[in-house]
């Protein structure tokens, strides 16, 4: 893990950019990420998990098929299962998804706001932060106890073996 990237600080800055929450899946192999950071509302996370929505989520499908970034609005036409409408009911009305594939590893992330779409500067900052997190976690070293505690203090749910 890179010593130059402060993971808790990056996550905190992303929380500021995405007040309705985010999900960041780093180094996805098959369908499981090595690291998963989430700040979406608990009720949405429970519904999403309970109903197995990851397999029907157009943001996830897009991220597996494309590199780059996309606003959620164009994905609504591909949402036959109504995942995005269900997310909007939890305050996730506007969003952006980032997908990158670098050094043989894929990471993907989605960020949400309830009030307005993300502007171009915010999307650029999000994309840069996801790239930095991807690179910082490429070695799959465990997070330090200090980093784990800082992430917990941010109320960011995370998984890592």
**Residue 151 pLDDT:** 79
- pLDDT at residue 4, rounded to an integer: 67
Q: What are phi and psi of 94, to 5 degrees?
A: -125, 140
pLDDT tens for 13-60 read 999 999 999 999 999 987 789 899 999 999 999 999 999 999 999 999
Please tell me the predicted confidence (pLDDT) of residue 140.
65
The structural domains of the chain, with segments of one domain joined by +, span 7-159
Global confidence as pTM: 0.89
Phi and psi (nearest 5°) for 33?
A: -85, 150
> What digits encode the pLDDT tens for the residues 65-111?
999 999 999 999 999 999 999 999 999 999 999 999 998 899 999 99
The reported pLDDT for the residue numbered 2 is 41
pLDDT of residue 41: 97
Query: Would you give the end-to-end CA distance of the chain in angstroms?
Result: 14
Q: Is 90 exceeded by the pLDDT of residue 150?
A: no
Is the pLDDT at 161 greater than 70? The verdict is no
Is pLDDT above 80 for 144? no
Q: What is the DSSP string of the chain?
A: --SS--HHHHHHHHHHH-TTEEEEEEEEETTEEEEEEE-S-HHHHHHHHHTTGGGT-HHHHHHHH--EEEESGGGGGG-TT-HHHHHHTTT--EEEEEEEEETTEEEEEEEEESSSPPPHHHHHHHHHHHHHHHHHTTT-PPPPHHHHHHHHHTT-EEE--
4: its two tokens: 């130059």
CATH dotted code for 7-159 = 3.30.450.80
Residue 3 pLDDT more than 50?
no
């Amino acid at each position: 893990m890179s010593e130059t990237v402060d993971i808790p600080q990056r996550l905190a800055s992303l929380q500021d950019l995405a007040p309705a929450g985010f999900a960041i899946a780093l180094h996805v192999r098959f369908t499981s990420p090595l690291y998963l950071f989430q700040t979406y509302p608990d009720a949405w996370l429970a519904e999403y998990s309970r109903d197995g929505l990851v397999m029907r989520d157009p943001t996830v499908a897009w991220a597996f098929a494309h590199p780059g970034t996309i606003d959620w609005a164009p994905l609504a036409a591909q949402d036959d299962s109504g995942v995005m409408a269900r997310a909007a009911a939890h305050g996730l009305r506007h969003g952006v998804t980032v997908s990158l594939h670098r050094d043989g590893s894929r990471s993907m992330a989605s960020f949400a706001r309830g009030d307005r779409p993300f502007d171009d500067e915010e999307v650029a900052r999000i994309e840069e932060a996801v790239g930095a997190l991807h690179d910082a976690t490429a070695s799959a070293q465990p997070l330090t106890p200090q980093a784990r505690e800082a992430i917990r203090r941010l109320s960011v749910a995370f998984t890592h073996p």
